[in-house]
Chain A
Amino acid sequence: MNKNQEHLLVKSLLNETRQAEEEQLTHLLTSNTHAIDSLNDWKKIYLLLQNFNPQFSRYFIKHTLNRLAHQRLIQQTQRDLYKWMLRLSMSAVAAVFLLLMYVIWQENSLSIDGLLGITNLWSGDFTNLLANY
């Protein structure tokens, strides 16, 4: 069977043949036994498919709701974690800012030594510190 004939058979199965196609279909079904066999079997299969009625398990709704609750819990945990990280990072930024302000206020400048708190440290201080122990 060619493509047009296949389409014609499917249309016949679905009752979608137009008036003009009826004649072609009749001709096809009278001249081609394979087409008749196919159409008859397709009709049986169509009938079976229309009665195809599988079911999910009886706990399907319960499982879906559990899954929804689980998803909500995960989303809530992610939101809480994000909020906590945001708070932590904001506190860290505030602490750094305060440290910088303090260093500038104390030293009137911003230097690495100032940040490390060793601006007024003499070179002998480490030796003295160690000697005291």
Chain B
Amino acid sequence: MQRGDEQALVEIIRRYETMIARIVIGMLGNTAEAEDVGQETFLRFWQSVGTYRYEAKVSTFLTRIAINLSINELRRRKNRYAWLELTDDKPIQYEFTDPQDAFQQADVTDQITHALTHIQTDQRVVVILRLIEGYSTRETADMLGIPLGTVLSRLSRGLEKMRKILRNTEQQ
């Protein structure tokens, strides 16, 4: 891998594409930027293969890159579309109906993406790492450099916000 063999990169992408898609699309929504950030994640990883330390898992290393790039993209997006927020104050229309039934629906991914992208970024990161990717609470805290209590607080606030979003749409 450290020789920069392209076939090894293809193998890495095949193995971790789904994981990176979950993180990046969860963070940014199913947008063209998400795919760009996904590609950039693998390219950054590939460029830093020479300095990659084998104590860290490839998945953890890729996750860190994906999270950092997604946060950067969100910052860029915020600056780029800041003026839109000033003009567009219409309430967001959610398509979610019933969480239990939606579990079996084909578009559940879109609905979860929608709900995820409407919670705060710091809560979203924690929800993705802990509840979607299955990192332990300690690993999530270490990865983000925050205390355990903060992880739990962000999780509860994030889940509560998602719950409200889903409930609102249920009533509509």
The chain A residues found within 8 Å of chain B, CB to CB, are: 3, 6-7, 9-11, 13-14, 16, 38, 41-42, 44-57, 60-61, 63-65, 67-68, 71
Contacts and interface: CB of A to CB of B under 8 A. Distances in A.
B43 A67 contact: yes
Interface string B145-171: 000010011011101101100110000
Nearest to A63: B39
Contact of A54 (B100, B113, B152, B155): B113
A50 B99 contact: no
Interface of B: 6, 9-10, 13-14, 17-18, 20-22, 25-26, 30, 34-35, 38-39, 42-43, 46, 99-100, 102-103, 108-109, 112-113, 116, 127, 130-132, 137, 149, 152-153, 155-157, 159-160, 162-163, 166-167
Contacts of A11: 152
B153 A54 contact: no
Interface of B, helix, strand, loop or mixed by DSSP: helix
A6 B152 contact: yes
Contacts of A41: 99, 159, 163, 166-167
B75 to A, nearest CB: 22
| Residue among A9, A13, A60 facing the most chain B CB atoms (10 A cut-off) | A60
A48 B100 CA distance: 9
A82 to B, nearest CB: 19
Contacts of B157: 6
Interface of A, helix, strand, loop or mixed by DSSP: helix
A41 B161 CA distance: 11
Contacts of B20: 56
A3 B38 contact: no
Contact of B100 (A16, A44, A61): A44
Given A10-B155, A64-B43, A48 B22 contact: no
A100 to B, nearest CB: 44
Contact of A7 (B6, B131, B149, B167): B149
A10 to B, nearest CB: 5
A54 B108 CA distance: 10
Nearest to B26: A52
A15 to B, nearest CB: 11
Contacts of A6: 152-153, 156-157
B5 to A, nearest CB: 12
30 contacts: A6-B156, A7-B152, A7-B153, A10-B152, A10-B155, A10-B156, A11-B152, A13-B159, A41-B163, A42-B163, A44-B100, A45-B162, A45-B163, A48-B99, A48-B103, A49-B112, A49-B127, A49-B131, A51-B103, A52-B22, A53-B109, A54-B26, A56-B20, A56-B35, A57-B35, A60-B17, A60-B35, A60-B38, A61-B17, A64-B13
